[in-house]
Structure formats: C-alpha cells, structure tokens
Chain A
Amino acid sequence: MYEQLPALMILVPFTAAPVCVVFRHALASWVIALAASLFSLFAAWQVLEHVRTVGIIRYKVGGWAAPSGIEYYIDTLNASVLLLVSGISCIVLVYAYRSVIKQVPLAKHYLFYTAWLMCMSGLLGIVITGDAFNVFVFLEVSSLATYMLISMGSDRRALTASFRYLIMGSVGASFILIGIGFLYAATGTLNMIDISERIPNSESQRAVLVAFSFICIGVMIKAAIFPLHAWLANAYTYAPVAVTAFLAGTATKVSLYVLLRFFFSIFGYEYSFGQLLLNGVLLPAAVAGFILMSLVAVYQTDLRRMLAYSSVAQLGYIVAGISLASQAGLTAGIVHILNHALVKSALFMAVGCIIYQVGHAHRPSFDDLFKRMPFTCIAFIIAGLGLIGVPLTVGFISKFALIEASMDRGWWLIAALILVSSLMAVVYIGRVVEVMLFRQSRTSTPEVSGMSEAPLSMLAPMYLLIVIGLYFGINGDATLSLAGEAAEQLLGGF
C-alpha cells in the first residue's frame, strides 16, 4: 500500500468523483470530496518526504515497465507541486461548503464536487506523470472539469467565460498534443526520460523544433502567460469564487510546471535556452505581462477581475525567473509558484467572504466594510501585503530572490521593472484597502452597520492559508531550499 501511494493519490479522487454522482447529495459529496482531497494531501506529503530523504521515485503504473507502460516520475519539483495542489484543494474545499451554497443551486452541488474532484485528480495527474502523452490526457481531464466548474457561476456571463476558455484551452491542449506527436515521431517514445535521452541524437531535428514550438505555445495558453491570457480574466471573475480561489492557486501553476518539465527536463536547458534562446520569447512576454497587467489591474473596479489581472502579472514574475535560466532564477521562479499560490488563493477567499455577505465585489460600491467585516478585511490586508512583497510575508521572499537573481545575472533593467510593477501592486491593493477602511456608509443609517462577518467555516480556512503564508514568509528557508533543490534537479536534466 505504501509504495502504491503515487497511484492512489490520483486514483482515490478520480474514483471518488463518480461516487459523488451516485449519492446525488450535496453534503455527502462534499464529505467525499474533502476526504479524497485529504487522502491526496497525505499521499503527497508522504511522497515529498520520500523524495527528499530517499530520492526520486519512478513508479510503474500497473507494473508495466517504462517504454511501453506509463511511468510516474516524481522529483522534488513535482512532489512540492503535488503538495501545493492537494493542500490548496483541501483548504478551499472547507471554505467552499458555505460559499457554494450561496452561489450554486443546491441541486447542482453534487456535480460541483464531482467536477472539483475530477479537476484536482487531473491536475495531480499532469504533475505526477512521467509520460508525455499522459500529460495531455490529464490536462484534458482537468480542463473539462474546469469548464464545468466555471460555468456554474451565478452570473450568466460565467457561461460565455467558460465557453471562451473552452475554445482557448482546447486549442492550447491540441497544440500540446501536436507537439507530443512530433516528439514521438522524432524519438519513437513517449516516456519523458527516453525522449530527453534521444532528442540530441534524433535524425529529424526539424521535428523536434516543431514540437518545441507547438508545446511552447500550447503551454503558454494554458498557463495564461501574457499575451495569451485573454481567457483568464472573465473565467476568474464569473466562476464561483471558491473555484477561482482553487484555480488561482493551482491551474496556472500546474501549467507552469509543465513548462518547466518540458523545457528543462525533456528538451534540456542547453537546447531550450542555449540553442533556441527561449528566453528571447519568454522574457519579453513576462516583462510586458507584469508591467501591463499590473497597470490594467490598477484600473479594475471589480476585485475578482483586479486579482485576475494581478495573477497574470505575478505569473510574469515566475516566467521572468524561469527565463533567467540560472540556479538562482529558477529557484526564485519556483518559490514564487508556491508563494503566489498561497497569497492569491487567500486573496480570492477574502473576496469570496465579501461577496458572501455584501453580494458583490464592486469596489466603488463598498461601504463601511471594515466595520462590518473586520476579520475579512484584515485577512485581505495581510494577503495584500504579501502580494506587494512586504517583509515577513511570502511575497517578500520570492521578490527578494527574484531581484537578487536578476541582479546577479546583471539584468538591471528587469530588476527595476519588477520594482515598478510592485509599486503598481501597492496602488491596486492600496485602493481596495483605502475603500475598506475609510469609505463611510452613504445610506446614513449608522446604527444599522453592525458586524456581519462571513461564517467561521469560511474564515478559518482563509486564515489557515494566511498563517501558512506568514510562516513561509518568516521561515523562507523552508520553501527556498525546496525550490533550490528542484531547480538543481531541473538544470541537471533527468
């Protein structure tokens, strides 16, 4: 049983999903989903422990050996992403219970949790697998579930947002599929390790190049890297807010993991960055992303949309770190994958609490928010400080690492632009905080405004995330050493 954890981590939520459909009961489905998530979290924890103490895991699914069978390949990088995905899923699921009651009709709840489980197992599958085609399959599993989840938003525009994401996402996934096809044509194998070994000796380097380009574009679409981020804003805005909190912390991060895995492990650092100058593509996209999207975020009035654009901007930081392609840069990028997931999920959860009580997330229409929801506001402020990168929050750790890495490499302009973008984060978070603290009620009935906080089952998981964030902000070494280890493995290839 213990050695089978890598497979069970995926299988348990995957089989739990149809069980929810059998029960057709909201609470039962929620309990099943939470139990399955907790199991995955436990398994991910064990796997990470094993990877860090014993070494890389190569698990043969069904006992079939690598070239013909599917292999799960787990090193520090994907073990930590596994932990992140299952952890965020658990925390947000606790939060989702009350949040979803207000946003999704009760009759659909069991479908909601079914889709949630499918989505999570899909994401876990993408991360854990060592087989290129398997990546595509799990990608589509998670994507289809995501379209479903997004379309359950209470606003009817959720439907069109979901549809738009479906078109973009399917094209992105198809591109990845084409790329994998060409890789197979060039190397005759689907196992990632085998591919990486055979690429240098392949007779058809043209096919490898084509595969590289298709995968690059496909992953950029799925990861919402500027300028291929168009689907993200509406999807995050109109989806049920628990879904947004979940996706913001996991979906794009997993796509970035795919990017890392393909470009560093499979194609190899030398090929991607030395020969093909991938940083020439990624770096401008990253920089334009974090500058422009931060600027766009400043002008948003809806909190969810603002945070969505801020997500694209923060992804830009990660991609900038990756395109430094140095040990320090990669470490910074990977650590920001973890840190930003914590911060952004917490922020979306805070917005969800506001929506739960106030009914909307339209900044100019808030009044007396701090008096009514002090705990939510404090949570938002702490997480917001994390986004800005104030010391003792996670944002500081990753920003420090990122700027240090770019200065180390001599990229002064990039370092300066990162700071400019941070200033914009000060502005857009500051605007919200300003309204929270100072906007007085305009209905001029001061006696009405008592406390009306979100329920404890929403506050508690939100604060759990914030405490985790603060912990990793103070003990930044924990995540940095993890990311450093992962970066080392990536640069070393398989």
Chain B
Amino acid sequence: MEKIAGLYSYWVVVVLMMAGLYIMIARYNLVKKIIGLGLFQTSIFYLYITMGKVSGGTAPILVHGDVQPVFSNPVPHVLILTAIVVGVATSAVALALIVRIYEEFGSIEADEIAIIEAQEPEA
C-alpha cells in the first residue's frame, strides 16, 4: 500500500506517459497525435518536478539567521523550464507542419494521407 499511495505522483507520471504514447500510436488525426506528444512530454516534466521535491521543502531562498529552511531541489525545475520551451517549440513546428499538410493534401488524417501518397508516382 505504501508503494502505491506513497509514490502516487510517479503513478500519475506513468499513466500520463502511457496515455500520451497510446494517443500518438492509436490516433490517425495528426492534431491528436500532437496532443498525445504534448501529454507525453508533460508527464516527463512532472517526473522531473516530482524528483526534485523534498517533503516539507520550500522555495530555495536564503534567509537571514542561522537555520536555513528545508528547500526543494531547484535544478530539476530549471531544467524543466528549458524542456517546456523545447516542448512548446516542438508543438509549434508540428502544428505548422500540419497546416502545410492540410494545404497540400486536404486532410489531416494519417490514413487518408497514406492512401493519397500511395497513389503518387515514386519520387
């Protein structure tokens, strides 16, 4: 019970990650794939934040006095700030690509596009 309840945060990560992966694999709609990718990446952010958390910890700010408060590890937070930016950029590029795909193929369904592509001459 301790394993499940005590580490519930990690379970959330696992569920989110699998849900994201599932969406990416199972959905033909390109936008939904990107939603899946976003979910997947978010779960990783969550993983990092969870790792950095120290129970009872606060923000890592120096205070006057001899006793410093317990604080959470700031490094994962900083890393994830970078990763979020990367994730946003990836989504932006992906959505731009989807727009272009829609202009060219008239569809954003992977299976329909595959049929159109199969009919085109080689190269």
Contacts and interface: CB of A to CB of B under 8 A. Distances in A.
Interface stretch (A165-173, A443-451, A454-462): A165-173
A184 B83 CA distance: 15
Q: Number of contact residues on B: which range applies? A: 20 to 34
Given A140-B86, A181-B47, A160 B113 contact: yes
A140 B122 contact: no
Contact of A137 (B33, B86, B98, B117): B86
A166 B104 CA distance: 18
Contact of A171 (B24, B51, B82, B97): B24
B100 A177 contact: no
B101 A160 contact: yes
A35 interface: no
A16 interface: no
Given A156-B105, A174-B40, A140 B90 contact: yes
Contacts of A159: 97, 100-101, 104-105
Nearest to A161: B117
Contacts of A140: 86, 89-90
A102 to B, nearest CB: 15
A178 B47 contact: yes
A361 interface: yes
B123 interface: yes
A190 B37 CA distance: 25
A166 B100 contact: no
B97 A151 contact: yes
B123 A305 contact: yes
B44 to A, nearest CB: 6
Nearest to B73: A188
Interface residues of A, number: 34
Nearest to B17: A178
B83 A177 contact: yes
Given A156-B104, A162-B97, A301 B51 contact: no
A51 interface: no
A151 B123 CA distance: 15
A137 B30 CA distance: 25
Given A137-B82, A156-B104, A177-B83, A166 B24 contact: no
A166 B90 contact: yes
Contact of A360 (B117, B120, B123): B123
User: Nearest 6 A-B pairs (CB), nearest first?
Assistant: A156-B104, A302-B123, A140-B86, A159-B101, A185-B51, A163-B97
Given A144-B90, A163-B98, 14 more contacts: A133-B79, A133-B82, A144-B89, A160-B113, A167-B37, A170-B37, A170-B90, A174-B44, A177-B44, A181-B47, A181-B48, A184-B79, A185-B51, A237-B123
15 contacts: A133-B79, A136-B83, A136-B86, A137-B82, A147-B97, A156-B105, A160-B113, A162-B97, A167-B94, A171-B21, A177-B44, A184-B51, A184-B79, A301-B122, A304-B123
